[in-house]
Chains A and B, each alone.
Chain A
Amino acid sequence: LAKTTQPISMDSYEGQEVNITCSHNNIATNDYITWYQQFPSQGPRFIIQGYKTKVTNEVASLFIPADRKSSTLSLPRVSLSDTAVYYCLVGDSNDYKLSFGAGTTVTVRA
């Protein structure tokens, strides 16, 4: 399973774009990159998943360079409700022991 490294915390203000970069130097050919969001006292919630280049949905964008050794989750125009912990995971469909790590705590201020 590929190990991931992401910042412990990030601060932002309402209306700004937040970019969280995750490093995964030993990503395997079959691995996908998946991001989850977790609010206090709730289980993690799937945000976005990708394999290469760029993926966008109604919540976020995921940018993956050609070498796939890192990825960046982009949250456009954050609001106070985006304050949460964000986890980057790397694995394929048979990786059922996915490691969440400590994640990145994003704090959005007014």
Chain B
Amino acid sequence: DTGVSQDPRHKITKRGQNVTFRCDPISEHNRLYWYRQTLGQGPEFLTYFQNEAQLEKSRLLSDRFSAERPKGSFSTLEIQRTEQGDSAMYLCASSSTGVLSPLHFGNGTRLTVT
């Protein structure tokens, strides 16, 4: 178990630029989640994949956000035309489909939009 890895750990970008984050889940996990966390708050659900299918998107995920999980392996989260309000920690998690299947989180990508 190598854990969930996210890249990059930190990203500073100027308002209006596009950014893309990558998540590599635990290899045998078929569920993958993206969360966003701002200072002092708990993680907020953004979107969920079962294998390569994106099954749910939060209303927090505006049209500027898009997520993919080609071939049911790694996932990418892209934010287009970034805004200062997008500054947050973006967390990826994976889990199996068992009844007792806790989320395994990566250490996130910290995005700062200037």
Using CB atoms and an 8 Å cutoff, list the residues of chain A in contact with chain B: 32, 34, 36, 41-46, 49, 85, 87, 92-93, 96-103
Interface residues of B in 23-64 (CB under 8 A from A): 31, 33, 35, 40-45, 48, 55-56, 58
Do A43 and B93 touch (CB < 8 A)? Answer: yes
Asked whether B103 is an interface residue with its Cβ less than 8 Å from the other chain, the reply is: yes
A102: B residues at CB distance < 8 A: 40-42
Once A and B bind, how many residue pairs between them come within 8 Å at the CB atom?
Answer: 61
Interface residues of B in 7-33 (CB under 8 A from A): 31, 33
Interface residues on B, range: 20 to 34
Interface residues of B in 53-103 (CB under 8 A from A): 55-56, 58, 89, 91-93, 97-103
Do A41 and B56 touch (CB < 8 A)? Answer: no
Cα distance, A97 to B103, chains bound together (Å): 11
Using CB atoms and an 8 Å cutoff, list the residues of chain B in contact with chain A: 4, 31, 33, 35, 40-45, 48, 55-56, 58, 89, 91-93, 97-108, 110
Cα distance, A102 to B58, chains bound together (Å): 18
Q: List 25 A-B contacts (CB under 8 A).
A: A32-B99, A32-B100, A34-B102, A41-B89, A41-B108, A41-B110, A42-B107, A43-B4, A43-B92, A43-B106, A43-B107, A43-B108, A44-B43, A49-B100, A49-B102, A96-B31, A96-B48, A96-B55, A97-B45, A99-B42, A100-B35, A100-B42, A101-B42, A102-B40, A102-B41
